[in-house]
C-alpha cells in the first residue's frame, strides 16, 4: 500500500517517502522513468529504420503503394485512410483514458469504470485493425519476381498500374510438388510453393507485350522506374523466384528490410498495446471491486493512464515514419 | 499530488479536436503530396517531410502536456523526463542518419558492393 499511494503514514517524514522533491508519488515517478527508457528503446528502433532507409534511399518502397486496403472496399486503392482510422481509434481511447483519470480525481466510481471499459474496447479494436493490416501485408496484392541479386521486379501495364501475376502468368503443364516432411526420411519440409512458377511468369510476360517491369529505383519524380520492353526481358533473365506477399525473408513490395522493420516495430508496438489492454482490464476490475474507492485515491488509474498515453504517443511516431515520411 | 484537481473535461475535448485536426491535415498532405513541397529539399529532406515531422512533434507535445498531464507537474520532473529524451534522441538520429547517408554514398560512388 505504502508504495502505491502516498498516505498519511508517510506525510511529514522526510526520509521515509514523505518528501517528494518532484511532486510526484514514488509509483508515478517510476512509471515516468519506465516510459523514458521505453521511449528510448522505440527511438532506437525508429532511428535504425531511418539508418537503413538512408542507406537504401534510392530503392526504398513507397508506403502509399504498400498499404492501400480498406475494409469492404475490395480493389479500391485507399492509401493511408485505414491507418488514419487506426490513429483516430487510438487517440480516442487516449481521450477516454484521460476522462477516466479526470473522473477518478472526483472519486466518481461508475464514471471511471465506464471510461476504462471504453478504453479497453478502443485498444481491442486497434489490435484487431493491426492484425488485419498485417494480414494484408503478409498476403500481398500483386506478386513479384525476385532476382538472383535480391532485387524485386514488379509488373505494370502501359499506364503504369500494377498488374497481378494471376492476370498474365501462363499455365504450363508442370507438376511442381509441395515438399512435406512425409516425403522423405530426413526431410523436414520445404518452402511453400507460390501460385506460379518462374517459368510460368516469364512465359506469360513474353506472351503479353503490354506488360512492363517496374524496378525498385526511384526516378527524379520520386516514382519507381518503369523499364522498356527490351530492358524488361533482359532483367527477367535474372529471375530467381516468385514472391507473393511479405515475410521476414522476402517482400514483394520492395526492400526486405522494409518488411523486417515493419513487422518488428509495429509488432513491438502492438505488443505494448496488448499489455496495455491487459493492464487496463485489471484496473477496470479493481475499479469495479471498489479497491480505489476504499483507498480514496484513483492514482493507479492515473499510472496506467500514463502507460496508455505513451502507447498512443509511440503510435503517432510510427504513423509518421512508416506511412507519411 | 501538489496540483489542484479541478475538472479538465473541456480542455481534454479541445486537445482531442486539435490532435484530430493535425492528423487530418497530415493525411490530406500525405495523399495530395503537393508538388512544390514534395520536390523542394531543405537539409537533404523535402519540405513535406519536415512538415510531417513538425506536426508529429506538435502532437507529441499535446499528448504529453495535456493527456499525460506534464503541464501540471513540477518543472524539475518535466525536465528530467523531456531533457534526456530530447538530447539522446536528437543525438542518436543525427549520428545514424549521417552514417546511413555516408554508407549510401560509398555504395553509389565507389567499387565496394558489400562491405558494411
A44 backbone dihedrals φ, ψ, rounded to 5°: -60, -45
Which of the listed residues A214, A244, A274 is the one where a domain comes to its end? A244
Chain B residue numbers with beta carbons less than 8 Å from the beta carbon of A324 are: 26, 29-30, 49, 52
Pairing of strands A239-243, A144-147: antiparallel
Q: Is A292 exposed, middle or buried (0-12, 13-18, 19+ CB in 10 A)?
A: buried
Whether A132 maps to a domain, the answer reads: yes
pLDDT at A167: 83
Boundary residue ending a domain (A218, A244, A270): A244
- Based on the domain organization, do B44 and B4 belong to the same domain? yes
Please name which of B6, B103, B85, B74 lies closest in space to residue A24, comparing C-alpha atoms: B74
Q: Are residues B32 and B79 in the same domain?
A: no
Give the minimum alpha-carbon distance from B4 to chain A in angstroms, rounded to a whole number: 10
Residues B66 and B80 in one domain: no
A10 assigned to some structural domain: no
Q: How many domains does chain B have?
A: 2
Q: Which residues of A touch B44 (CB under 8 A)?
A: none
The pLDDT value given to residue B98: 93
Residues B65 and B9 in one domain: yes
Let me know whether B19 and B57 are in one domain. Answer: yes
B67 to chain A: which residues are within 8 Å by CB?
94-95, 97-98, 305, 309, 312
- Put simply, the chain A residues between 28 and 47 with a CB less than 8 A from any chain B CB are 29, 32, 35-36, 39-40, 43-44, 47
Shared domain check, B39 and B12 = yes
Among A231, A189, A197, A201, residue whose Cα is nearest residue A213: A231
Please check whether residues A173 and A315 belong to one and the same domain: no
Residues A75, A135: one domain?
Answer: yes
The one-character DSSP state at B42 is: E
Tens of pLDDT, residue by residue, chain B (116 residues): 444 455 688 889 999 999 999 999 998 898 888 888 787 787 778 888 999 999 999 999 999 999 998 888 888 999 999 999 999 999 999 999 999 999 888 888 887 766 65
Quote the domain boundaries for residue B101.
Answer: 74-116
Q: Which of A53, A310, A316, A322 is nearest to B54 (CA)?
A: A316
Task: Indicate if B64 and B105 belong to the same structural domain.
Answer: no
Q: What is the 3-state secondary structure of chain A?
A: CCCCCCCCCCCCCHHHCCCCCCCCCHHHHHHHHHHHHHHHHHHHHHHHHHHHHHHCCCCCCCHHHHCCCECCECCCCCCCHHHHHHHHHHHHHHHHHHHHHHHHHCCCHHHHHHHHHHHHHHHHHHHHHHHHHHHHHHHCCCCEEEECCCCEEEEECCCCCECCHHHHCCCCCCCCCCCCHHHCCCCCCCCCCCCCCHHHHHHHHHHCCCCEEEEEEECCCCCEEECCHHHHHHHHCCEEEEECCECCCCECCCCHHHHHHHHHHHHHHHHHHHHHHHHHHHHHHHHHHCHHHHHCCCHHHHHHHHHHHHHHHHHHHHHHHHHHC
Q: Which of B67, B69, B96 sits opposite A94 (nearest CB)?
A: B67
In-domain check, residue A205: yes
Taking the C-alpha atoms of residue B64 and residue B70, their distance in angstroms, rounded to an integer, is 6
Same domain, residue pair A167 and A81? no
Instruction: Give, as one character, the DSSP assignment of residue B33.
Output: -
Q: Looking at the structure, do residues A130 and A158 belong to the same domain, yes or no?
A: no
Best CA proximity match to A242, nearest among A162, A157, A173, A165: A165
The residue from A192, A215, A244 where one domain ends is: A244
How far apart are the CA of A53 and the nearest CA of chain B, in angstroms?
Answer: 8
Give A79: exposed, middle or buried? Use CB within 10 Å, 0-12, 13-18, 19+: buried
Q: Could you tell me if A136 and A31 lie in one domain?
A: yes
Residues B27 and B68 reside in one and the same domain: yes
Give the strand pairing for A212-218 and A224-226: antiparallel
- Same-domain pairing of B6 and B31: yes
Interface of A with B in 54-113 (CB under 8 A): 54-58, 64, 79-81, 84, 87-88, 91-92, 94-95, 97-99, 101-102, 105-106
Residues 6+ apart with CB under 8 A from A98: A305, A309, B8, B12, B66, B67
Q: Is residue A316 part of a domain?
A: yes
Could you read off the pLDDT of A48-61 as tens digits, one per residue?
999 999 999 888 99
Chains A, B: CB pairs < 8 Å: 147
User: Is residue A85 domain-shared with residue A169, that is, in the same domain?
Assistant: no
Q: What's the whole-model pTM score?
A: 0.87
Chain B CB within 8 Å of residue A309 CB: yes
User: Is there a single domain that holds both residue B5 and residue B53?
Assistant: yes
Phi-psi region of A215 (alpha: psi -120 to 50; beta: other; left: phi over 0): beta
Please tell me whether residues A136 and A27 are part of one structural domain: yes
CB contact under 8 Å between A88 and B23, yes or no, is yes
Residue A284 vs residues A115, A123, A150, A281, A307: alpha-carbon distances, Å: 9, 13, 50, 5, 15
| Tally of CB atoms within 10 A around A227 | 18
Using a CB-CB cut-off of 8 Å, the residues of chain B touching A222 are 38-39
Question: Is the domain of A161 the same as that of A184?
Answer: yes
Chain centroid to CA A153: 24
- Say whether both A262 and A136 belong to one domain: yes
**Consecutive 10-residue averages of pLDDT for chain A (325 residues):** 50 68 85 94 95 91 83 74 90 94 91 95 95 91 87 87 84 72 71 81 85 85 83 86 89 91 95 96 94 88 94 94 88
In terms of domains, do A131 and A156 share one? no
pLDDT reported for residue A198: 84
Q: Does A240 reside within a domain?
A: yes
Tell me, yes or no, whether A229 lies in a domain. yes
Distance of alpha carbon A192 from alpha carbon A23, whole angstroms: 58
Q: Are residues A28 and A51 in the same domain?
A: yes
Contact across the interface for A47 and B96, Cβ inside 8 Å? yes
Same domain, B64 and B7: yes
Rounded distance between C-alpha atoms, residue A46 and residue A318, angstroms: 8
Joined grid coordinates for residue A318: 510510427
| Closest C-alpha to B20, from B67, B69, B61, B59 | B59
The pLDDT of residue A13: 67
Structurally, chain A folds into a number of domains equal to: 2
pLDDT at position A5: 53
Q: Do the domain assignments include residue A13?
A: no
Burial class of A14 by CB neighbour count within 10 A (0 to 12, 13 to 18, 19+): exposed
Does residue A3 fall inside a structural domain? no
Is there a single domain that holds both residue A28 and residue A94? yes
* Containing structural domain, residue A37: 23-140+257-324
Asked whether residue B109 falls in the same domain as residue B58, the answer is no
Amino acid at each position: 500500500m505504502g508504495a502505491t499511494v502516498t498516505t498519511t503514514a508517510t506525510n511529514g517524514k522526510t526520509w521515509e517517502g514523505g518528501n517528494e522533491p518532484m511532486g510526484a508519488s514514488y509509483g508515478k515517478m517510476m512509471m515516468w522513468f519506465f516510459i523514458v527508457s521505453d521511449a528510448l528503446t522505440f527511438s532506437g528502433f525508429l532511428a535504425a529504420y531511418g539508418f537503413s532507409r538512408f542507406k537504401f534511399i534510392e530503392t526504398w518502397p513507397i508506403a502509399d503503394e504498400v498499404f492501400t486496403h480498406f475494409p469492404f472496399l475490395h480493389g479500391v486503392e485507399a492509401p493511408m485512410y485505414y491507418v488514419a482510422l487506426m490513429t483516430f481509434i487510438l487517440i480516442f481511447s487516449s481521450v477516454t483514458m484521460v476522462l477516466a483519470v479526470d473522473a477518478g480525481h472526483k472519486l466518481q466510481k461508475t464514471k471511471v469504470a465506464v471510461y476504462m471499459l471504453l478504453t479497453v474496447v478502443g485498444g481491442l479494436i486497434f489490435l484487431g485493425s493491426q492484425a488485419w493490416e498485417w494480414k494484408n501485408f503478409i498476403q500481398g496484392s500483386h506478386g513479384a519476381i525476385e532476382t538472383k541479386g535480391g532485387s524485386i521486379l514488379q509488373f505494370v501495364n502501359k499506364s503504369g498500374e500494377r498488374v497481378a501475376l494471376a492476370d498474365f502468368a501462363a499455365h504450363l503443364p508442370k507438376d511442381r510438388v509441395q515438399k512435406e516432411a512425409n516425403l522423405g526420411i530426413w526431410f523436414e519440409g520445404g518452402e511453400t510453393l507460390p501460385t506460379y512458377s518462374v517459368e510460368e511468369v516469364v512465359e506469360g510476360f513474353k506472351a503479353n507485350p503490354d506488360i512492363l517491369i517496374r524496378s525498385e529505383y526511384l526516378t527524379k519524380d520520386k516514382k519507381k522506374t518503369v523499364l522498356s520492353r527490351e530492358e524488361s526481358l533482359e532483367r527477367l533473365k535474372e529471375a530467381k523466384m516468385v514472391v507473393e506477399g511479405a515475410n521476414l525473408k522476402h517482400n514483394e513490395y520492395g526492400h526486405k528490410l522494409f518488411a523486417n522493420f515493419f513487422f518488428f516495430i509495429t509488432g513491438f508496438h502492438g505488443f505494448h498495446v496488448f499489455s496495455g489492454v491487459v493492464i487496463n482490464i485489471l484496473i477496470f476490475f479493481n475499479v469495479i471491486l471498489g479497491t480505489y474507492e476504499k483507498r480514496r485515491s484513483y492514482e493507479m488509474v492515473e499510472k496506467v493512464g500514463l502507460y496508455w498515453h505513451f502507447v498512443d504517443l509511440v503510435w503517432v511516431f510510427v504513423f509518421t515514419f512508416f506511412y507519411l515520411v | 499530488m501538489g496540483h489542484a484537481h479541478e475538472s479538465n473535461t473541456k480542455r481534454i475535448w479541445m486537445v482531442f479536436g486539435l490532435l484530430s485536426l493535425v492528423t487530418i491535415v497530415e493525411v490530406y498532405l500525405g495523399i495530395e503530396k503537393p508538388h512544390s513541397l514534395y520536390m523542394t529539399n531543405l537539409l537533404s529532406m523535402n519540405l513535406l517531410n519536415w512538415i510531417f515531422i513538425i506536426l508529429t512533434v506538435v502532437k507529441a507535445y499535446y499528448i504529453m502536456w495535456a493527456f499525460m498531464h506534464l503541464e501540471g507537474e513540477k518543472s524539475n520532473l518535466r525536465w528530467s523526463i523531456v531533457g534526456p529524451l530530447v538530447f539522446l534522441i536528437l543525438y542518436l538520429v543525427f549520428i545514424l542518419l549521417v552514417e546511413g547517408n555516408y554508407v549510401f554514398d560509398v555504395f553509389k560512388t565507389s567499387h565496394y558492393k558489400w562491405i558494411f
